[in-house]
Structure formats: C-alpha cells, structure tokens
C-alpha cells in the first residue's frame, strides 16, 4: 500500500477537499481561493511538462514551449520515473477519458 511522505491531518483534509471538486469551474474556484496565481501557474506548468516528457519531447523543446527551467523539467522527469506515480496515474486517466491528445 502507498504511504505518502507528507501525510498529516492537514494534508488529509486537503486531499479530501480536492476529491469533492466535481467540475472544472469548482476546481478553478477552489484553487483561486487556496493558492496564489503563481502557485496555480507553476502546478499547471509542471503538469504540461509531464505530458510533454511522456511524449518524449526533448528538454530544450519543453523549455521553449512551456518556459519551464531545466531544473523544473528535471524535477518532473524524476517524479515521473521515481516518484509516487501520481503524474502517470492522473495522466493515464485523463488520456483514457480523451482529455489529453493521444
């Protein structure tokens, strides 16, 4: 069974709150309230980097397309390869639902 590194009562509350979001509009409302604009943009950028890495796009092209630093690209790549499998599980589900390009 997966044991998260950052598990606590506070993070449990956050994860349960995220699971209650039922629409893109709800998600925008929640994340606008809970995060700064920079934090949301940073998370969105990392997710886009993950999509491109899974498509075997080069670091240089990813940096050009997303504006992400090589450090960010490397961090996302490390998470894709050695992390908790969060990116892959979410991206696989989105792909199955047709929410990502094939």
Q: What is the pLDDT of residues 66-77, one digit of tens each?
A: 999 999 999 999
Rounded Cα gap, residues 20 and 2, in angstroms:
21
Rounded Cα gap, residues 25 and 50, in angstroms:
23
Q: How many domains does the chain have?
A: 1
Range of the domain at 19: 9-96
For residues 31-44, give the mean pLDDT.
98
63 occurs within a structural domain: yes
68 occurs within a structural domain: yes
- pLDDT score of 60 more than 90: yes
1 occurs within a structural domain: no
72 occurs within a structural domain: yes
101 occurs within a structural domain: no
Q: How far is CA 41 from the centre of its chain?
A: 11
- pLDDT score of 101 more than 90: no
For residues 47-66, give the mean pLDDT.
98
Give me the pLDDT at residue 102, please: 67
2 occurs within a structural domain: no
Do the Cβ atoms of 20 and 38 come closer than 8 Å?
A: no
3 occurs within a structural domain: no
Q: Which two tokens stand for residue 4?
A: 């998260």
Give me the pLDDT at residue 27, please: 98
86 occurs within a structural domain: yes
- pLDDT score of 2 more than 90: no
């Amino acid at each position: 069974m997966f044991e998260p590194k950052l598990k606590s009562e506070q993070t449990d509350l956050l994860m349960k709150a995220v699971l209650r979001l039922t629409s893109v509009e709800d998600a925008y409302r929640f994340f606008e309230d809970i995060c700064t604009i920079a934090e949301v943009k940073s998370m969105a950028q990392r997710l886009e980097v993950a999509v491109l890495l899974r498509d075997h796009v080069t670091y240089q092209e990813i940096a050009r397309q997303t504006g992400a630093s090589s450090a960010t690209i490397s961090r996302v790549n490390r998470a894709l390869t050695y992390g908790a499998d969060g990116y892959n599980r979410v991206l696989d589900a989105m792909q199955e639902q047709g929410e990502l390009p094939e």
